[in-house]
Structure 1
Amino acid sequence: MLLEKILQSQGFGSRKYCQQLIKNGAVTIEDQVIDDLKFKISEQQLNFKVDGKAYLYREHVYLALNKPKNYECSHQATHHFSVFDLVDDLLLNRGVQCIGRLDQDTTGLLLLTDDGKFLQALTHPKKHVPKVYIVKTADEISVEQIEKLTSGVELRNEKGIFAATDVQKISENKLSLTIHQGVYHQVKRMLAAVGNKVITLHRQQVGLLDLGQLAQGEFIFLDEQQIRAAKNLDELIVTL
C-alpha cells in the first residue's frame, strides 16, 4: 500500500496533508526517513514514526474507556463534556463511535470503535451481550426487590419483561446486576419499577471484559483476547 494511504487510513489527515508529511521527511520506518511519495510497504505489523512519535498500523481500532461522571457520549455535548474529548485527535479523524451509550451521570466501561461490524455485534438486540452494573440506591435493597428484578419487570412504553441476572446485594444500598438488553435508562427504570431509586450507576463489565483498574478518563487499545471477551465469545472474564 502507498505510504500516503496508510497515513490517511490512520487518521493523520487528508491525502494532501499526508503527502506533505512525507515530503517534509516527517515519516520514518525502521529509523529511515521515507520522503518518496511512491513508496509502498505492507501495512501488516507495520511500525512507523511521525515527527518522532511511534505508531502501529491498525486496520480498525477498538478502545476501552473508563468514562467519568459529567461526560456525554456525543460529539456535540450540550450541557457537559464529551467523551470524545478524552481520546486522541487521530482517533477522532478515524471516526470512532461509542458502542452504546452511558448517561452523563453514569461511570465505567465504555467501548469505542471505527469497525461497524464490531459495533453491530455488540449492540444488535438479538446478540444479548451481558453488561454488569454496580448500583447505589436511595433506599435499602430488600429481598423482595431482588426477587422482582430477577423475575422481571415491565417498563413503560417498552415491550416484554426485563429481568436482571446475577443480582447480588453488596451492602444495604448497593448491588450488582447483569442486564442483557439495552433500552433507554434500563437499570434506572428497573429499580424504579421495584420501588427504589438509583443514586449512582457504574458499568463494570461488557460481555466478559471487566474494567479492572483502568483509571477514570483513561483509555486503552484492546487486543484480540479482549475483543473476544467483549463480544462474549470466551468462557473466562478478561480484566483490563
Structure 2
Amino acid sequence: MGLKRLDKLIALNCNVSRKDARKLIKDAAVTVNSRVVLRAEELVDADVDDIDVKGYNFTAKEHIYIMLNKPQGVISATADPKKKTVIDIIPDELKRRSLFPAGRLDRDTTGLLIITDDGAFAHRIMSPAHHVYKTYQTALSYSIDENDIKKLEDGITLGDGTECLPAKVKPFVFNGLPGAEIKIREGKYHQVKRMFHALGNNVEQLRRIQIGSLKLDTSLAEGECRELTAEELELVFTDED
C-alpha cells in the first residue's frame, strides 16, 4: 500500500471525515505499533504497521469491493433526497465515505452490483473497450425464437437508431415464464429492456447474475452483501466463454 498520512488512512478505513480522524488522533485514540501517535500527518504503511483506532474496527485496505444482491425499489446512486440508494443499504461495517456503484442497475432490476471506492476499477468494468460482459436473466412477454436471437447476436438497432454491440443470447425459463439469458458488454440506458422492445417484446423481470466470470453468490438474499475476495476480483475481468 505504501506510505500514507495517518489521518487519511483512518478516514478511509473507519468511515469518518478527515476532521474526525484528526480529532481521534488528537484525543490519543490511535496507536501505531502500540505507540500513541498525536500527529495527523505522520506517514504509515498499513501493510507493515499495526494500526489501532479505539472504538473502531480498523482493517486497512487501499480500496474496498462489495458484492451486493440489489433488491427492487433501490436506485443505483450514492445519495438521493427521496429514494433509497444502494449505498443506504450497505452495513456500517463496510461503509466508507467515498463508496459508489460500479455501474448501475435500474430501480426495478435485481441482482449483482459491485460497490467500491476504486474509480479505475469501476471504469474498467463499465467501458465497452475492456470487453467485460454482464449476464442478465429476463422474464419476457413472449418466447424468443432463432430469428430474435440472431438479431441480438448480430447487434440490434434500437428504436432511436442506437446500434448495440453483438450480444450472446439463449432462451431461459424465468420462474416459469418465457425469457432469455443475455450477455452484453455495454451499459446504455435501459439497454436490455430496449433491446427486447426493438424485437416487439417486453421485459417483465430482470436480474443480473454475472460480471465477467464473477457470479452472484446465491447465498445472498436480496439486499444482502459481502466483500469480494482477491480471487473473485480477478474473475471480473475474465470471461468463461
TM category, shorter: 0.7 to 0.9
Task: Compute the displacement of 1:120 (Å).
Answer: 1.3
CA distance in structure 1 between the aligned counterparts of 2:30 and 2:88, rounded to whole angstroms: 26
- Tell me the secondary structure at the aligned position of residue 181 of structure 1: coil
The structure 1 residue matched to 2:190, chosen from 185, 204, 209, is 185
Task: Compute the displacement of 1:204 (Å).
Answer: 0.3
- Tell me the secondary structure at the aligned position of residue 183 of structure 2: strand
Give the percent of matched residue pairs that are identical in Structure 1 and Structure 2.
Answer: 33
Moved more, 100-109 or 220-229: 220-229
Moved more, 15-24 or 54-63: 15-24
- How do 1:188-203 residues align onto structure 2 when only pairs under 5 Å count? 188-203=193-208
Structure 2 letter corresponding to 1:35: V
1:103 and 2:106 correspond:
yes
Structure 2 letter corresponding to 1:74: A
- Change in 2 beyond 3 A, CA 1:47/1:82: farther
CA deviation string 1:62-91 (max 9, x = no partner): 221110000011233366311110124576
Structure 2 letter corresponding to 1:203: R
- Tell me the secondary structure at the aligned position of residue 85 of structure 1: coil
Give the alignment's TM-score, normalised by structure 1.
Answer: 0.82
Gaps of 5+ in 1: none
Structure 2 letter corresponding to 1:37: L
Match of 2:37 in 1: 36
Match of 2:145 in 1: 142
CA deviation string 1:9-62 (max 9, x = no partner): 3254334422332344544668x5x53314764211666554454331011112
CA contact (8 A) 2:31 2:37 kept: no
1:17 and 2:20 correspond:
yes
- Tell me the secondary structure at the aligned position of residue 83 of structure 1: coil
- How do 1:1-240 residues align onto structure 2 when only pairs under 5 Å count? 1-27=4-30, 32=34, 35-38=36-39, 41-44=44-47, 48-77=51-80, 80-88=83-91, 93-170=96-173, 173-213=178-218, 214-232=220-238
Task: Compute the displacement of 1:149 (Å).
Answer: 2.5
CA distance in structure 2 between the aligned counterparts of 1:11 and 1:198, rounded to whole angstroms: 41
CA deviation string 1:151-178 (max 9, x = no partner): 3321133543443204233365122111
CA distance in structure 1 between the aligned counterparts of 2:189 and 2:135, rounded to whole angstroms: 16
- Change in 2 beyond 3 A, CA 1:45/1:55: farther
CA contact (8 A) 2:135 2:181 kept: yes
Structure 1 letter corresponding to 2:206: L
Structure 2 letter corresponding to 1:197: N
Gaps of 5+ in 2: none
CA contact (8 A) 2:63 2:118 kept: yes
- Tell me the secondary structure at the aligned position of residue 110 of structure 1: strand
CA distance in structure 2 between the aligned counterparts of 1:16 and 1:22, rounded to whole angstroms: 10
RMSD, matched Cα: 2.8
Structure 1 letter corresponding to 2:237: K
The count of corresponding residues between Structure 1 and Structure 2 is 233
CA contact (8 A) 2:133 2:211 kept: yes
CA distance in structure 1 between the aligned counterparts of 2:17 and 2:81, rounded to whole angstroms: 29
CA distance in structure 1 between the aligned counterparts of 2:147 and 2:31, rounded to whole angstroms: 64
CA distance in structure 2 between the aligned counterparts of 1:203 and 1:47, rounded to whole angstroms: 39
Give the alignment's TM-score, normalised by structure 2.
Answer: 0.82
